[in-house]
């Protein structure tokens, strides 16, 4: 168990604690991307509550001291451009020092623009080519079934990514093999690099599509930690689970929210100062490793 799992007796980590950790992730995201001068803040910020719930809400069974533990749960960041939020969570969990975060995208840094499993402890899959992560997760989940392991596999997808045909091939395979150890979360923020998902190529009705492909489905507010945790804790029902998380692109920084231009642009100068002021490190929380 991570040192960050502050438990409430009989209830697991508190909602307040997970929310504070989401705040820390947002702070790190802005600092990292601002320092690098490039990166993808919009979709990293929109998924911060989701990732915080997974890593700090008592959901993922992982061990920073033994990253390759055979019985660990697996998390696949299929929307690999949101690497900053994953790196922030792994650093806060203790997989590597927090001060390494500020080397994002620098020459020689293990923290590349998209995650590389050969360079960063805790990264389960090298991703970035959209549409492939769910297939990787299906393979991991199927391996768990064949090996009679009880670990779970989680995959975080972008809604624009669901325009990729490979997503639906993987969804079909997951249902066919009854992979109830597989959970996919869609960061449904409605925007992609070229603009609104609905205008580029609509993926709606997304929840009905996953259901039609044989998945159990649930829709939640992707910024409500309690709703996220309740959905993540749903018992297996003999089929894979799709959680459609309704989110806001750029959540937490007012001038970035619901603006497609911040999908892949780093704030600089005055904008960086404004963003950092909005995502200031939560009270009573000290940044480790700085």
pLDDT(8) > 80: no
Domains of the chain: 13-278 (3.40.50.970)
What confidence tens digit (pLDDT) does each residue in 92-122 have?
999 999 999 999 999 999 999 999 999 999 9
Enter the pTM of the model. 0.93
- Whose tokens are 């508190």? That residue is 14
Q: 281 or 60: whose pLDDT is higher?
A: 60
pLDDT(283) > 80: no
Query: Taking a C-beta distance cutoff of 8 angstroms, is the pair 47, 80 a contact?
Result: no
What confidence tens digit (pLDDT) does each residue in 132-142 have?
999 999 999 99
What confidence tens digit (pLDDT) does each residue in 57-95 have?
999 999 999 999 999 999 999 999 999 999 999 999 999
Question: With bands split at pLDDT 50, 70 and 90, how would you rate the model's confidence at 284?
Answer: very low
pLDDT value of position 239? 97
CA distance 53 to 187: 13
pLDDT value of position 236? 86
> Among candidates 81, 151, 138, 69, which has minimal Cα distance to 114?
81
CA distance 3 to 10: 18
Query: Taking a C-beta distance cutoff of 8 angstroms, is the pair 181, 147 a contact?
Result: no
What confidence tens digit (pLDDT) does each residue in 221-269 have?
999 999 999 999 999 889 999 999 999 999 999 999 999 999 999 999 9
CB atoms within 10 A of CB 107: 5
Question: With bands split at pLDDT 50, 70 and 90, how would you rate the model's confidence at 13?
Answer: confident
pLDDT value of position 11? 53
pLDDT value of position 280? 81
Long-range contacts of 255-259 (CB under 8 A, 24+ apart): 256/41, 256/42, 256/45, 258/190, 258/191, 259/42, 259/191
Q: Compute the 3-state secondary structure of the chain and give helix, strand, coil in percent, each to the nearest 5.
A: 40, 15, 45
pLDDT(169) > 70: yes
What confidence tens digit (pLDDT) does each residue in 170-227 have?
999 999 999 999 999 999 999 999 999 999 999 999 999 999 999 999 999 999 999 9
Query: Taking a C-beta distance cutoff of 8 angstroms, is the pair 53, 47 a contact?
Result: no
C-alpha pair distances (Å), 229 with each of 19, 52, 63: 12, 10, 20
């Amino acid at each position: 168990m991570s040192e960050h799992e502050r438990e409430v007796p009989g209830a697991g980590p508190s909602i307040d604690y997970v929310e504070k950790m989401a705040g820390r992730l947002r702070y790190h995201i802005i600092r990292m991307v601002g320092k690098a001068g490039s990166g993808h803040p919009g979709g990293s910020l929109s998924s911060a509550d989701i990732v915080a719930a997974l890593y700090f809400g008592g959901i993922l069974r992982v061990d920073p001291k033994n990253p390759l533990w055979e019985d660990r749960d697996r998390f696949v960041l299929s929307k690999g451009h949101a690497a900053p939020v994953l790196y922030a969570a792994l650093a806060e969990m203790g997989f590597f020092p927090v001060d390494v975060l500020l080397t994002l995208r620098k020459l020689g840094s293990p923290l590349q623009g998209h995650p590389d499993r050969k360079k960063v402890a805790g990264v389960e899959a090298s991703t970035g080519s959209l549409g492939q992560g769910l297939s990787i997760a299906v393979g991991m989940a199927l391996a768990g079934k064949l090996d009679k392991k009880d670990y779970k596999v989680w995959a975080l997808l972008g809604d624009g990514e669901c325009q990729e045909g490979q997503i639906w091939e993987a969804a079909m395979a997951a249902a066919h093999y009854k992979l109830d150890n597989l959970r996919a979360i869609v960061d449904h923020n409605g925007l992609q690099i070229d603009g609104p998902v609905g205008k580029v190529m609509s993926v709606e009705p997304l929840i009905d599509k996953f259901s039609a492909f044989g998945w159990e489905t649930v829709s939640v507010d992707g910024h409500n930690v309690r709703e996220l945790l309740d959905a993540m804790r749903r018992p297996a029902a003999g089929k894979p689970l799709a959680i459609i998380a309704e989110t806001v692109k750029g959540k937490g920084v007012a001038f970035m929210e619901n603006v497609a231009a911040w999908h892949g642009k780093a704030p600089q100068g005055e904008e960086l100062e404004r963003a950092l002021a909005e995502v200031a490190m939560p009270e009573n929380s000290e940044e480790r490793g700085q």
